[in-house]
Structure 1
Amino acid sequence: MKKIQDMNIQKMFSDVVYKRGLKYYNRDLVSNLIYDRNFNIWSAVVKGTDDYFVEINMADEEKGSMDVSCNCPAFDTFGPCKHIAAVMIEISNSRIDNPVKMSRDYSTTDWLMNSIASLTEYEPASEITLQKIPLQIDYYCRWEYEKNLLLELKVGETRPLVVKNVKDFLEDLFAGNEHYFTKTFTYNPEIHYIESQDWEILETLYAILNNEKVYFDRAIHRFSDTPDRSVIIPPLTAKDLLRKLSERDFTVKTADGEFKDIMVTEGELPFYFDLAETDSGELSLKMGDINSITYFKHYGLLFAEGSFYFPEKEQLPIIEQITMAASNNKQLPVSNEKKDDFISQVVPSLKKIGDVHISESVSNEIIQLPLKAKLYLELQDSQIAGKLSYHYGSHEIDPFNGREQVDDAIIIRDVKKEQQIMNLIEHANFHYNGRELYIETDEESLYDFLFKVMPVLDKYLELYMTDEIRKFFIEQQPSPSTSVQLESSSNLLDIGFNIDGINDEEINQVLGAVMEKKRYYRLKDGAFLSLEGEAFDSMKQLFDDLDVNQGDLQDGNVQMPVYRGTQVDELIDMPKQYDPAFRELLSQLQSPEEQVYPLPDNLNADLRNYQLTGYQWFKSLSHYHLGGILADDMGLGKTLQSIAYILSEPGDSPHLIVAPSSVLYNWKNEFEKFAPDLQVTIMTGTPAERAEMIDEKRDMDVWITSYATLRQDIEHYQEMSFQTLILDEAQYIKNYATKTSRAIRQLKAGRRFALSGTPIENSINELWAIFQVILPGLMPSQRKFKQLENDKIASMTRPFILRRVKQDVLKELPEKIESVHVSELTKDQKDLYVGYWRELQQEAAQSMKESGFQQNRMKILAGLTRLRQICCHPSVFVENYQGESGKLNQLMETVENAAANGKRMLIFSQFTSMHEIIIGQLEELGIDYFYLHGKTGSEERVKMSERFNEGEKSVFLVSLKAGGTGLNLTGADTVILYDLWWNPAVEDQATGRAHRFGQKNVVQVIRLITEGTIEEKIYELQQKKRELIDEVIQPGESMLSSLSEEDVRELLSL
């Protein structure tokens, strides 16, 4: 610790403060010196006029700084004071090399009690009270030629003496020192006291002197024989200081004498003006006794006859001009030619600062009438010429040459309005050639003048124009409107764009100008049609949003696919007219729950209300040859709703269902259960056998195939035309560029529907890819799509996405309770984890620095996977690992407790080698289990599910990806997610296997997370991604993409 003893204290203070601190130290006025070792703080009490508490905080001494404080008035104003100096000198001279920690609490309390007690007012005992002598202070204000206010003091007991050096006096005063005046008088703080009002004034003067260099260089502004006896009052403090001085013995010295009883006012100013007519008929302005008024420009104040005046801010410019004008003349003559201007401009300003008396003869000549401005316009070759005139009753004024004085009338002109008009004339690019105003006009400038400038001018003056100019205007500016018809024969929308008064010959050209975002269109007769304003802006936006160009127009009409119907309705923001067929389309797309398509009689199921709405949605879209995405939450019966729709659509060609291979037989079983009348086949077998089936099974009602099989067989489907295409788990085609997606797009189908509880797993582009299959043409190009706002995408897709979540539609569905169970790494695990963590951090940071994230993405993700595997159990990839796993121990304890309480469990893990470890533990405990993995056949999956749901065995161990879709495992009431997946949607699919329609028990979902590891950060990342689907289906505020460089940096704390 650098001790205060080692510091050069003298350099830390000014000479004056240090000397006074040394004086206090020598007088032994420092007491209660205490050091707190815990906080490295010194404290002490210094006796002065009062007891002052000083604290010196050395906590930041290593950074070369310390904090000091004192509760004396000087510290508040000027900073480090003599009391602090005294304490530091006391510390430096103390013999405490290693001060012992002392309890600061009691000493501080004692000091506070003494200080508070000293503030308590007691009635003095007259027989023992030492009566102090009041100090009389007189204040004198004067100014010199540059009009800086100077303040001087006289101080004494009965006969005040001149303070020859104000700064020295004030320094002694605030230091508590004596100050010598003469042999007969010395100020002594022990015997003299100063009243509180004087203290306030003296404190202000002391602050002014200490900061004087901020305002003035005193050598420039002082020339007196005794420069130190005065203080220059700065403008910033003048008003407050003069108010305080006016309540004391305050004298103002001027060239005209001395004034006492000084007043400070913000009220009426001391100006008086008299306007009269001379014998010659001119006007004369007398300005009272204006030379007795002193104006202090820098202060913004006046002095007159013993009073200081503080005018309002807007009065100051007028005062400055008047005082300058009056410096040479007390009386100003006004010529006849200037009467109007003087009365209109000068007199109103004079009234703002004082009284103005106008003689009766002048008043009788004044006319005050409203201004009428007139502008006459005519066309001259390539110019518009104008004549501007001002009219006050019968009096006409040329604004450029004034008015001809034909009588004695004095017109009070509306100067403000005249100036506004002249500003408008200048802004309109009018020029004056000495005779008239004119504007050079090309077509663009002419349009601007007619439609921008003239409407503004019309508010301020009367416009007159020749017929040549009037022909540029359409009598009534037309407004656009639209009409929409649904052509049932073509299933196309016919959108008509109409503009009142525009004939069929020009409508396409006008609409083309709108598309090109032109400001106007010049009609064949020469008139301008303005294309600006809200109505035309809405039309421009409509063309942009619908991607309509001029080539699409025919006689003002454009045809669009029917799937644009709701989009067109939302985008049209102008008068519109719809035919009944289009209104019916909107009703069906916007309110499917209100439709009344009958259910098939041979459907072997009772649909819930939300499922009935889903069926109506299918039928409404199908009616108009449209498709969509059924995005219901997992377990709400997307399969059943699809079967009901297919059953209602008999036809000559089959319906095609494409699904993951793991759920093909599940679909077939559901058809047999709910629609046994339909003939259903699964396209399975060798490629040759499937090719034969494609030729022979064309009379079947429903074909079911997998994505992988379809991709291989796509050439055999080229000649097929399906009634309906249904894509189950449509996230399989979320990548537009894959072979599977390309194969699906080659299929011919009358209607196309996608089923997916997670149409967006990572990126909004996945939604675009799905719509490219089910409704090609609805979305713009991928490049434009990426530029769309989320709410725009939501508006575009809303009629074609139906999404319901469990909590909204299945009120009777048992509760799902989610919890996180946290485990710790064992010592062996932790050693491995920390080693891999550090190695991955270094490698990732170096790799991304050298070649960027994308080039090293897979390598980094592989490293992250290793960290996750160590959390699960190091044996997943570390050979001959002999230690334990904290998470596995926690799992087996949870399984034992759950089994003992009759719970039936689904255990999900994404690592096959982890399954083997868990199986070994289950067998040791004698717990029966089912095990479903990626190689489990489709039929076997269904059988295992049914057996488990019927009560066989208590554990169903399943791969997260293999069991995430197509399983109904409502026999479980506990779901354990052993390890976390990057994408929470995959986990939700897994938990949805148990928490779905048919579940009668409360489902508990347990996530196992290892504390202090990457798993905690993955869990945080999941919470962000969970909001992504709602971003478009239910628009929100943010947008996430797949695992990004930022995510990786956060996971690795880079």
Structure 2
Amino acid sequence: MLAFTSQRIRSLCGASAFKRGEEYCAYGQVMIVERDEDNRYIEAVVQDEDIYRVEVDIDGADFSATCHCAGFGGYYPYCKHIAGVLIYLLEEEKGGADRLQPRGEVVPIPTPAVSSRDVRLTSGLIELFEQMADSERLKTGQKAASVLKETLAVEWTCKVTDEYQPEPKFRIEMKVGPNRLYVVQNIRQFLLHIEEGRSLPFTKLFTYSPKQHTFRPEDWAVIDMLIRICGSEFAYDEAGRSIPGFAASGSQRMLTIPPLGWNELLPLLVKAGAAMEREYASPQPIQLGEGQIPLSFHVGSIDSGDAYHLEINGLKRVVVMTAYGCAAVDGTIYRLPVRDLLLMSEMKTLIYRYDHKRINISPHQMDALMEKVVPGLRRIGKVGMDASVRDQLVQPDLVAKLYLDRDETELTARLEFVYDGVVIDAFADTDARKDGDFILVRDTGKERRMIEALKGTDFVQSGREMVLDLSEEDSVYDILFHLLPKLEKWVQVYATPAVKQLMHNPNKPPKIKADTDHTTNWLEINFELDHVSDKEIRKLLLSVIEKRKYYRLPGGAYVSLEKEAFQTFGELYDELGMKKGDITGSRIHLPLVKGLQLRDKEGRAYGVQMGKSLRQLIDHMTHPEQMDFDVPEELADVIRDYQRDGFQWLKTLGHYRFGGIPGRRHGAGQNAAKHCLHCVRTQGEGRRAPSGPDRIPRIARI
């Protein structure tokens, strides 16, 4: 027991110094750097604005302390640094021997660059990684086989529990021993002892010792996985949470396998030679199954001929483990899709609730059984059929028919499925067919896709029809111009004239034409659309600019603006820099030079039908040499080819009354070309072209 208490420290150092001393301890600013074996002489350092050394001598019930700070020996006998060291020693004594500084360990003295807190944190990190290394060495030593260690035999049993409950579970049991196998009574305790490298007695004749025993590599793999599972189970228990139905089992001999760990554990159990055991059955070696699960179904007719039967074989042997994503049959594990597992689970519940292996079926239910049940049974097992049943099967092609009509307020749709003369209403509650002489196998997959396509719109089912309010213009447009083209691949669509009037279908597709006007001064763009006036075409084109999907004509018909010609016009509007004021009707007049933008970089037209005059203009501007303008005689022999090209280009611009300036890439040729053009113009005006050594020799030297 120390020679001082908190109260004595407060009286010797003062309340203010005592509080500061508590802060030094709380923030890790006190460190013991040296102490003798009897813990009577203690030397410590305190990190403050500077580093202060404190020495404490304990002599029985008395003690003395010194500090090298300026405040030592003031009003109170001891300073705040001594208070911090004394408080630290009190807390150290309360914490037990584990808090004492190990003897012989060298502790760095804090410096202005490295505080006592930094030293303490570094020591903690070093200790942490040393412990991890020791743990790894311990595990490696446990697993290492040597002549001094005996390899224990392990027997793993995977038990299926709660088989007849909604969520059956896999639980592991373990037997271990050198020769005779002993049941592990508390599997979690045993795994913990293995992990920590501690011995565990089983009986008077056998005690597990990590120094004397080891396991096969296959068994070590399972043990490591189970230790991880135990850790997860512990974490859930500590947090007060658990997976519903998968909490720790009541028996300490068994460890519940969580579904998330099953796929990783299963191949390890197979390699370790584990067995599977069902309730009231003998264990079977665990194997991984391939292919279809051993289930069989048989469809036949009753001898009297007035009914059929479905016989199910093998389903009772199947343990459906939906949560684990598999099914077990006599120790063989089959991984299956969740939908098949749910199907088998519900089938077992439904069939064995009445303890029926064979079900008699009315002729009026056979169509539905063959359409909806048999395809699903083929996914999970083999399906057999009597010849008499096969002879009655009829599987004609499906012909779907969609009837559209409208009145003043609603658009109505009726869907029928036709199988070789048998008509079935898609939205009828019951099958109207009463003939039992044959079994009709319907294409339910295709039927479902059509029904889902209709129900995916804003149609609302009303009895045997689907209806839509005509005021919902966006929905009406989507059905007429998006849904119907999609359905026409599978369905025969029959629309009344009243419905057809809602869709504007011109005899010719819309066209955009471009040419020069009769004066060759303007570019004329003409938008052609049958049976639509110029006034309506202007409104329609403005709707294209506003990015609308459709336009409604005065008569109520919808015009789809998503067709290629309308999209092309939208692109031209942006490319040519048009304004809404330029659109006065079906004809649009723009400066002629805009026509040069109607071809892209590769020379392709932007979906526009160009007239002869416009094509000729673009060809001449692209290949000015086609115009073949004569070069003035006085310059013909002195200008070069690239200077001649510049002259031809300038003359072509002048021919079409365009303006232009030769680019820098022509070099000095631009001066020559302009001089040639000037000569031509002065000759045309009757003036003499410039000549003499100041003009022609300079051009000749270019």
TM-score normalised by the chain length of structure 1: 0.48
Amino acid across the alignment from 1:620: T
Q: 1:202 to 1:575 in 2, by over 3 A?
A: same
Instruction: Give the letter for the 2:593 counterpart.
Output: Y
| Residue aligning to 1:418 | 447
Structure 1 gap ranges (5+) = 7-20, 36-57, 71-78, 87-114, 655-668, 679-996, 999-1054
How far is 1:345 from its partner? 1.0
Deviation at 1:584, TM superposition (A): 3.1
Query: Which residue is 1:317 aligned to?
Result: 342
Letter in 2 for 1:538: T
Corresponding letter in the other structure for 2:606: D
Spell out the pairing of 1:146-545 with structure 2 (5 A cutoff).
146-213=167-234, 226-227=251-252, 229-278=253-302, 281-329=306-354, 330-331=356-357, 332=359, 334-399=361-426, 400-401=428-429, 402-434=431-463, 436-442=465-471, 444=473, 446-472=476-502, 477-487=507-517, 489=519, 491-499=521-529, 501-502=530-531, 506-517=533-544, 519-520=549-550, 529-545=559-575
Residue 144, structure 1, aligned to residue 171, structure 2? no
**Aligned residue in 1 for 2:629:** 597
Q: Residue by residue, what CA displacement relative to the aligned partner does 1:820-871 show, whole Å, maximum 9, x if unpaired? A: xxxxxxxxxxxxxxxxxxxxxxxxxxxxxxxxxxxxxxxxxxxxxxxxxxxx
Question: Once superposed, what is the RMSD of the aligned Cα atoms?
Answer: 4.7
Match of 1:135 in 2: 152
Structure 2 contact 327–341 (Cα < 8 Å) conserved: no
Distance in 2 (CA, whole Å) between partners of 1:5 and 1:85 is: 31
How far did residue 137 of structure 1 move?
A: 0.6
CA distance in structure 1 between the aligned counterparts of 2:411 and 2:659, rounded to whole angstroms: 61
2:134 to 82, 87, 107: 82
Structure 1 position 223, deviation (Å): 7.5
* Paired residue type of 2:335: F
Distance 1:256 1:670 in 2: 123
Secondary structure, in 3 states, of the residue corresponding to 1:478?
coil
The Cα shift of 1:149 comes to 1.3
Identify if the C-alpha distance between structure 1 residues 167 and 520 changes in structure 2 by more than 3 Å, giving closer, same or farther: closer
> The residue matched to 1:495 in structure 2 has which SS?
strand
What is the distance in 2 between the residues matched to 1:671 and 1:357?
110
SS in structure 2 of the partner of residue 326 of structure 1: helix
Q: Equivalents in 1 of 2:570, 2:120: separation in Å?
A: 65
Q: Look up the equivalent residue of 1:615 and give its one-letter code.
A: F
CA contact (8 A) 1:284 1:334 kept: yes
Post-superposition Cα deviations, 1:598-635, rounded to whole Å, max 9, x if no partner, equal 33344599445444433333332222222234441696
Distance in 2 (alpha carbons) for counterparts of 1:372 and 1:520: 32
Aligned-partner Cα distance in 2 for 1:343–1:488: 74
Instruction: Give the direction of change, closer, same or farther, for the CA distance of 1:386–1:171 in structure 2 (3 Å limit).
Output: closer
Q: Secondary structure at the match of 1:257?
A: coil
**Structure 1 residue 673 corresponds to structure 2 residue 694:** yes
Aligned in 2, Cα 1:446/1:261: closer, same or farther, shift over 3 Å?
closer
* Alpha-carbon offset, residue 404 of structure 1: 2.9
- The answer to whether the 8 A contact 2:371-2:443 is kept is yes
The CA deviation string for residues 534-578 of structure 1, in whole angstroms up to 9 with x for no partner, is: 122112332344355676467733322221121134495335132
**In structure 2, distance between residues paired with 1:156 and 1:630:** 100
Does the 8 A contact of 2:160 with 2:276 survive in 1?
A: no
Counterparts in 2 of 1:314 and 1:592: CA distance versus 1, 3 Å = farther
Paired amino acid for 1:285 = L
> 1:538–1:572: 8 Å Cα contact kept in structure 2?
no
Q: 1:551 to 1:191 in 2, by over 3 A?
A: closer
Cα distance in structure 2, aligned partners of 1:214 and 1:277: 58
Partner of 2:681: 649
Instruction: Tell me which amino acid in the other structure corresponds to 2:184.
Output: V
Measured in 2, the distance between the counterparts of 1:260 and 1:554 equals 88
CA contact under 8 A between 1:592 and 1:620: conserved in structure 2?
Answer: yes
What are the within-5 Å matches in structure 2 for residues 32-111 of structure 1?
A: 80-82=132-134
Contact kept in structure 2, 1:154 and 1:162, CA below 8 Å: yes
Which residues in structure 2 correspond to 1:404-803 (within 5 Å)?
404-434=433-463, 436-442=465-471, 444=473, 446-472=476-502, 477-487=507-517, 489=519, 491-499=521-529, 501-502=530-531, 506-517=533-544, 519-520=549-550, 529-548=559-578, 552=582, 556-570=586-600, 573-579=606-612, 581-592=613-624, 596-603=628-635, 606-632=638-664, 636=668, 638-650=670-682, 673-674=694-695
Q: Give the letter for the 1:203 counterpart.
A: D
Distance in structure 2 (CA, Å) of the matches to 1:575 and 1:147:
70
- Once the two structures are TM-superposed, the CA of residue 150 in structure 1 deviates from its matched residue by 1.2
Q: Deviations over 1:954-990 (max 9, x none)?
A: xxxxxxxxxxxxxxxxxxxxxxxxxxxxxxxxxxxxx
Q: How many residues align?
A: 574
Change (3 A) 1:254 1:447: closer
CA distance in 1, matches of 2:270, 2:132: 33
Q: Matches of 1:214 and 1:398 in 2, distance apart?
A: 58
TM-score (normalised: structure 2): 0.69
TM superposition shift of 1:354: 1.0
Map residues 921-936 of structure 1 onto 2, 5 A cutoff.
none
C-alpha distance in 2, partners of 1:424/1:415?
A: 14
What is the distance in 1 between the residues matched to 2:525 and 2:364? 69
Verify the 8 A CA contact 2:403 2:415 in the aligned structure 1. Answer: yes
Structure 2: distance between partners of 1:553 and 1:192: 95
Gaps of 5+ in 2: 1-27, 34-97, 109-117
Shift of 1:160: 1.1
Counterpart residue identity of residue 374, structure 2: V
